[in-house]
Chains A and B, each alone.
Chain A
Amino acid sequence: MSEVLEVGISAELAEKIREHGVETYPYECCGALLGKELGATGRAESEAIGAGSSREIRSLHPLVNRRDDSPRNRFSVTAEDVREAEKAARAQGLDVIGWYHSHPDHPARPSDYDRDHAWPWYSYIIVSVHTGVPQDMTSWRLKDDRTGFLEEKISPMKVGVAS
């Protein structure tokens, strides 16, 4: 499945996500992924989640984690933050195509809590940060039936756009 879904990101922007995770460690960081949907491949699995298979991240919109009661293992982005991220995307001719967050001292795999709170279509990038050092970065999309996530391939892009 990993070759069916794909999200492109420059090394520069991927590094910014890692840096954000290190900066907020041991708390979770979060932010919006701004970019463009490139269209569907017509393959069965991409249709199964009602989404195109390929997209590009062209900018980031870092956010403040609103979960001050449990920031080590939770993140929260309010509706107002979402509106603000959408406004920032529109100003750059882009869309909010997903969200990133860190898992301090946990693997870069979505938890049941992630699944319970996920929206379809969005790309969810997770970066694992162990003892303050960034480790794996993965990306996921919620299945249509909400039973789990499909992993999407993170493809390096050569040209980055500054956030």
Chain B
Amino acid sequence: MSVKVMIPTPLRVYAGKRDSAEFSAATVGEALSGLTSQFAELRKHLYTEDGRLRAFVNVYLNDEDIRYLSQEGTPTKDGDTISIIPSIAGGSCENAD
């Protein structure tokens, strides 16, 4: 089954400037694995060194945040769209108040 992954603007430079790519995948995790296999430079920006999705990487299956589904184990079906949406954070020093 084919699943489309929408690539956010800041990562397109690592994906041949493409805004999407299609993968055969049964879960969200498999689709993201397909993405990072095809475009290896993306991986470090999506995942921490221990292989977890970074906190500011938001993944939606169609319009549902996968945090409220089954995370990366969320099953996909033919024609689904996975969107990677950044959230943005920062701050002036190392420790919050």
Contact = CB atoms under 8 A, between A and B. Distances in A.
B45 A119 contact: yes
B92 A106 contact: yes
Nearest to B96: A70
Given A75-B89, A145-B44, A121 B94 contact: no
A79 B10 contact: no
Given A73-B96, A73-B97, A96-B9, A124 B14 contact: no
A51 interface: yes
Interface residues of B, number: 27
Contacts of A146: 44-45
Contact of A114 (B12, B44, B86, B90): B90
B40 interface: no
Interface string B83-97: 001111111111111
B64 interface: no
A121 B10 contact: yes
B11 A82 contact: no
Contacts of B45: 119-120, 146
A50 B87 contact: no
B52 to A, nearest CB: 14
Contacts of A124: 90
Contact of B41 (A69, A101, A103, A144): A144
Contacts of A105: 92
Contacts of B96: 69-70, 73-74
Nearest to A99: B88
A110 B86 contact: no
A43 interface: no
Contact of A28 (B86, B92, B94): B92
